[in-house]
Amino acid sequence: MRSVVSGDVEHPTDASSQRLRPTSPDTITAEVIARLDACEDERLATIMRSLVTFLHGFVREVELTEGEWHDAIRMLTATGQITDERRQEWILWSDALGVSMLVDAIGHPFPEAATESTVLGPFYVPNAPERPYGAHLDEVPAGDPAWIHGRVLSLDGTPIAGAEVDVWQNGDNELYATQDPEAPETHLRGRFTTREDGSFGFIAVRPTAYPIPDDGPVGQMLRATGRHPWRPAHIHVIVRAPGHRSVATHIFDRDSDYVDSDVVFAVKQSLLREFVERSADDPDRPQGIQGDWWSLRSDFVLVRSDDTGELVDPGRTA
Ligand code: BEZ
Ligand code: FE
């Protein structure tokens, strides 16, 4: 390209300089979108055009100031800095802004009678120990014993033998094993296999509500916008069975605080269950439980599919 120098500044003189249009909010958006004509990946071009359109529309709508833009850059930088192989602050943003649940809702349109999915969350660790029917999930004391039982069924009501019920939960100190330096790695985690009649049963502890990690940028956003960081009490479950679509879901304690205001928007009406109070002399008390206990029944209904839809572990958040 030819250029002329006037003072210290080079001015391009070729035809491209003649084509530059005056910069205005509308021409900037149009220019950025036009640049995507070069993108050969059609899906990527669709996503990027839409992203630019909405992002520019947002900046225009709120009339973002330079100071606010700097704040946003600082927040994004802090998010990158706090994220490592144990903590995933980006996913926490997605969770706390409802994006994770939106992606889940679009990606998992289950029939009405099937068990609904919900967020996987950051505390899932694959390869939990295999445990037999009726075993404890807790390896050190972690709360009131709770007998969790039910059946895994296909959508037509057929019991599924040999299904895997992969479970993890927090203890009464509000922590998952991955967050708790005092706990064994396999504490409050286990994989159970359904019996011939599709049944499973294990001794968990009654979960407590707990706050998501809120010592980083997401916590700052929650406080600045008047939101709390709490999740209602729940037990995580992934159910897998050959010939069926896997489901990552929760059993929610319907009597827990925050059921109506889960910080990650993951509560679904169909996933609420009752913990029933039981006394030590209850004749149904399972072997392995001493004293008073709770029981909770939850069946899981899977959709037949050639594609089991294996889940991707998105990384931990604490
Ligand atoms: C959880 O339930 O483990 C969880 C889900 C989303 C964000 C943080 C924690
Ligand atoms: Fe959880």
Please identify, by atom number, the ligand 1 atom nearest to the C-alpha of residue 92: 7
Closest protein CA for atom 7 of ligand 1: 121
- Rounded-to-integer distance, Cα 42 and Cα 75, Å: 31
| pLDDT higher than threshold 60 for residue 278 | yes
**188 part of a folded domain:** yes
Cβ–ligand 1 contact at 119 (below 6 Å)? yes
Is 263 found in the same domain as 122? Answer: yes
For the chain, what percent of residues have pLDDT higher than 70?
91
Is 255 found in the same domain as 171? Answer: yes
Predicted confidence at residue 5, as pLDDT, reads 42
On whether the CB atoms of residues 292 and 188 are closer than 8 A, the answer is: no
Distance 95 CA to ligand 1 centre (A): 8
Is 251 found in the same domain as 104? Answer: yes
Determine which of 39-43, 63-67, 105-109 has the lowest per-residue pLDDT on average: 105-109
- Helix, strand, coil content of the chain in percent (nearest 5): 30, 20, 50
Point out the ligand nearest to the CA of residue 122.
Answer: 1
Is 161 found in the same domain as 31? Answer: no
Residues 6+ apart with CB under 8 A from 119: 95, 100, 101, 104, 248, 250, 264, 266
Predicted confidence at residue 110, as pLDDT, reads 80
Is 129 found in the same domain as 23? Answer: no
Is 133 found in the same domain as 256? Answer: yes
Is 268 found in the same domain as 122? Answer: yes
**76 part of a folded domain:** no
**310 part of a folded domain:** no
Its pTM stands at 0.89
| pLDDT higher than threshold 80 for residue 311 | no
Mean pLDDT, rounded, for 81-104: 93
- Taking Cα atoms as reference points, which of 119, 100, 238, 229 lies closest to residue 168? 238
Is 100 found in the same domain as 33? Answer: no
pLDDT in tens, 179-211: 899 999 999 999 999 999 999 999 999 999 999
**316 part of a folded domain:** no
Q: Please give the residue range of the domain that contains residue 30.
A: 9-64
pLDDT in tens, 166-187: 999 999 999 999 889 999 999 9
Considering 64, 81, 99, which residue would you say is the last residue of a domain? 64
Confidence of residue 64 (pLDDT cuts 50, 70, 90): very high
pLDDT in tens, 39-48: 999 999 999 9
Number of domains in the chain: 2
Closest protein CA for atom 4 of ligand 1: 121
